Amino acid sequence: MAQKNSSIKLEPEPLGWKFWEKRRYIIVLLAFLGYFSSYSLRVNLSVAIVAMSSSDDDNSLNWTLQDRGVILSSFYWGYILTQFIGGIFAKRFGGNLILGIGIGVPAVLSLITPWVGKTVTAMVVIRILQGLFGGVTFPCIHDIWFYWAPIPERSRMTAIAYAGMFIGTVVTMPASAYLASSLGWESIFYVFGGLGVLWHIVWIIIVRSAPHKDRFISDAELKYIQSTVSVEKEGKTIIPWKSLITSKPVYGITIAQFALNWGYNTMLTQMPSFLADTLNYDLASSGFLSGAPYLTMAILVRKYYVCGSSVVQTLCMVAAGFFIDPVWSVVLIIVAVGVGGFTTSGYSTNPLDIAPDFASVILGFSNTFSCLTGIISPILTGVLVQNQTIDEWRIVLYIAGGIYIVGGVIYWFWCSGELQSWSQTKKDAAVEKGGE
């Protein structure tokens, strides 16, 4: 049965600056570091591939721009396949186990990349496998929050954890450029792969799927968490697939995420090349500037957030394409991608509002569609940008701006913060009926 509480209780000893005294915030910290690691493993290739293809590098692999587009997009070929599976596996085996595997395996693959990733085919295979395992990382985290996050703290805990992906990008871009310049591009994969393996070991040792399975949690914290969340005791959860996939709020979340991720992935995979090849920045500078938009994104962390930021992103992308200036284009792109933090704060916690029991499944659904951007955008950019001319890059930036505004408009009309009637499990309905 599922037991729901009619009122939210206050914790006897509220959270103070000694966050480590609360077991749930140790999990938040580790989740933050996990997303840091996950995104470092995802984005380091965006910088590394410039060095791997550079004619100035003695170990250059001489890949064309089209080769690079295929390699950069191949991560999402695997990523798209495990979105639904990630949410379902999390409910069956525990979000902690699935998240650990989703980051640990890509880390090991990163460590072997310098040895086996010397051809386009080999790199594509490695990236597909990284995407296949990495695809579970977002859907499964909501299963962890379902059990660990008190309702008044869900948005805060989610925002802190998700900030890891932005900070990870900020750090990884310039760090990768430095490593490639000083130690060679191979060091990028060794350093971030090693950090990922280290995180995996700590996560598996410390984190449990639910508070009552953690032998180090205090009785007071356990009682507080269980008094503010829906705790599943027994029985099999039945997912209302028909209602879920025909829900306008679900599609509002999905389209908002798709629009954000189009601009995000376009800049994530192509900005180092854009800066180095078209605006003539050196590798170290392009690495730092490529990470700058995501620093802004981390600092600026629902309806008004998503739609307002979509308008700003559209204006900035169009203006960046119009000017194509070494200074102003970079500034405008930083602002455009950076204010996406508002969009993320809107749609990422929205599944917990409309259907907390199925938040991991909804996020898996929306991620399935949004990760198409990671497949299409790098390949489309490779097709559109044949000669690294200003006019070619203008088209890329205008497309991103147009998709931003479409996503914002649809989210405005379709989003909801209300609990959906279909989100109740049969067990919940039985409890409520019995209480009438």
The pTM of this model reads: 0.74
Could you read off the pLDDT of 291-317 as tens digits, one per residue?
A: 777 666 655 546 766 788 888 889 989
Residue 286's pLDDT band, with cuts at 50, 70 and 90, is low
Q: Which residue has the higher pLDDT, 122 or 366?
A: 122
Q: Which residue has the higher pLDDT, 288 or 330?
A: 330
pLDDT of 289 strictly over 80: no
CB 317, CB 364: distance < 8 Å: no
CA 214 to chain centre: 27
**Where would I find the beta strands (DSSP E) of 209-313?**
231-232
Could you read off the pLDDT of 222-257 as tens digits, one per residue?
A: 998 888 875 554 455 678 889 999 999 999 999 988
Mean pLDDT of 163-188: 89
Give the Cβ contact number of residue 25 at 10 Å.
19
What does pLDDT average to over the chain?
83
Could you read off the pLDDT of 255-281 as tens digits, one per residue?
A: 988 998 898 888 877 777 787 767 777
Picking from 190, 205, 204, the residue whose alpha carbon sits closest to that of residue 99 is: 204
Could you read off the pLDDT of 59-111 as tens digits, one per residue?
A: 667 788 788 889 988 999 999 898 778 878 888 899 999 999 999 999 999 99
Could you read off the pLDDT of 414-434 as tens digits, one per residue?
A: 988 888 888 865 444 444 444
Per DSSP, helices labelled H in 327-422 are 328-338, 340-347, 350-354, 359-370, 372-384, 390-414
What pLDDT, on a 0 to 100 scale, did the predictor assign at position 234? 46
User: Which domains are present in the chain?
Assistant: 16-435 (1.20.1250.20)
pLDDT of 53 strictly over 70: yes
Residue 285's pLDDT band, with cuts at 50, 70 and 90, is low
Instruction: Please state which of the ranges 32-46, 51-65, 227-241 shows the lowest mean pLDDT.
Output: 227-241
d(CA 192, CA 49): 15
What pLDDT, on a 0 to 100 scale, did the predictor assign at position 294? 66
Per DSSP, helices labelled H in 385-425 are 390-414
Residue 287's pLDDT band, with cuts at 50, 70 and 90, is low
Could you read off the pLDDT of 382-414 as tens digits, one per residue?
A: 889 888 888 998 999 999 999 999 998 998 899
Residue 361's pLDDT band, with cuts at 50, 70 and 90, is confident
Calculate ∠ Cα 206-351-353, nearest 5°: 100
Residue 270 contacts by C-beta under 8 Å, 6 or more apart in sequence?
46, 72, 377, 378, 381, 385, 396
Residue 231 DSSP code: E
What pLDDT, on a 0 to 100 scale, did the predictor assign at position 56? 64
